[in-house]
């Protein structure tokens, strides 16, 4: 997939730029543009994958037929929207690449210093079983989520904090995949710094089993 390949290249570029001792203003501007575009691409891919997962999870039989019939128009509209977003992102990627070549940004980037990059940064997309030191935080997270035991005051919010690259998302995904079925309503979404709230809310509604036609944008935001 074009966007997925571009996203991996962007992450590699941003990781490389993090080693630059004193990037100039042009390089900083370029990094900001690439970072924001990578957020948009990530959200678009997540949205697409959520739609695929939702289709595979639909019940069969009469209930499945009714759900598919009710969602036919919505799915057609959604596919059109996602396709439009992907084409727009592909255009933006090409424009950014052309701008990079036009202003010869690579020629102006300071030489990277010999900074040691935390190897955990490269482990973001690995399976949890390949990572070391996750057993203890996973166990603690399960306790806070009241999985397997009753807390006197169950927590409504549990935060996983730490510097970038430690595997926070990997840990959250592991706990969600393994123990999510114990919760009646559950959703796993990725939120960028400047999220598209409509897309985000739609993704949550789909995952918690909202089978009716999704509200229009204004209704979705206002609640």
Residue 172 lies in a domain: no
Residue 8, domain member (yes or no): yes
Spatial CA neighbour of 29 closest among 98, 95, 88, 109: 109
Residue 6 covered by a domain: yes
Given a cut of 50, whether residue 203 has pLDDT beyond it is yes
- Band of residue 219 on the pLDDT scale cut at 50, 70, 90: low
Q: Give the per-residue pLDDT at 128.
A: 47
Which pLDDT tens digit goes with each residue over 67-77? 555 565 566 67
- pLDDT tens-digit series, residues 18-62: 767 677 788 778 788 888 888 777 777 766 666 655 554 454 554
- The answer to whether residue 19 sits within a structural domain is yes
d(CA 88, CA 151): 48
Count Cβ atoms below 10 Å from residue 173 Cβ, excluding itself.
Answer: 15
Q: How far apart are CA 60 and CA 118, in angstroms?
A: 47
Higher pLDDT: 63 or 77? It is 77
Question: How confident is the model at residue 179, as a pLDDT?
Answer: 81
Does 206 map to a domain?
Answer: no
Structural domain includes residue 88: yes
85 located within any domain: yes
Domain assignment present for 62: yes
In the predicted structure, residue 113 carries a pLDDT above the cut 50: no
Give the pLDDT band of residue 115 (cuts 50, 70, 90).
very low
Exposure letters 104-119 (e unless 16+ CB within 10 A, then b)? ebeeebeeeeeeeeee
Query: Which of 45, 54, 57 is closest to 206 using CA atoms?
Result: 54
The overall average pLDDT reported for the chain is 69
Least confident of 34-43, 142-151, 212-221: 212-221
Instruction: Find the mean pLDDT for residues 131-157.
Output: 70
Q: Is the pTM of this model over 0.75?
A: no
Distance CA 150, CA 171 (A): 22
Q: What does the alpha-carbon distance between residue 223 and residue 220 come to, in Å, rounded to a whole number? A: 5
Give the structural domain span for 16: 1-117
CA distance 112 to 47: 35
Look at the chain and report how many structural domains it folds into.
Answer: 1
């Amino acid at each position: 997939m074009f966007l997925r390949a571009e996203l991996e290249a962007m992450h590699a570029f941003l990781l490389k730029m993090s080693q630059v001792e004193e990037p100039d203003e042009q390089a900083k501007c370029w990094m900001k543009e690439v970072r924001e575009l990578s957020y948009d691409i990530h959200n678009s891919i997540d949205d697409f994958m959520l739609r695929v997962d939702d289709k595979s999870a639909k019940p069969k039989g009469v209930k499945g037929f009714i759900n598919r019939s009710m969602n036919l128009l919505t799915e057609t509209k959604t596919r059109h929207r996602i396709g439009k977003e992907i084409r727009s992102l592909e255009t933006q990627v090409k424009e950014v690449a052309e701008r990079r070549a036009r202003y010869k940004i690579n020629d102006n980037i300071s030489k990277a210093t010999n900074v040691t990059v935390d190897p955990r940064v490269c482990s973001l997309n690995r399976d949890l079983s390949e990572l070391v030191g996750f057993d203890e935080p996973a166990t603690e997270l399960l306790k806070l989520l009241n999985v397997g035991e009753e807390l006197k005051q169950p927590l409504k919010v549990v935060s996983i904090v730490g510097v970038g690259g430690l595997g926070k998302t990997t840990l959250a995904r592991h706990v969600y995949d393994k123990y999510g079925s114990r919760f009646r309503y559950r959703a796993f979404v990725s939120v960028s710094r400047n999220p598209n709230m409509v897309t985000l809310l739609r993704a949550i509604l789909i995952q918690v089993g909202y089978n009716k036609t999704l509200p229009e944008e204004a209704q979705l935001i206002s609640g």
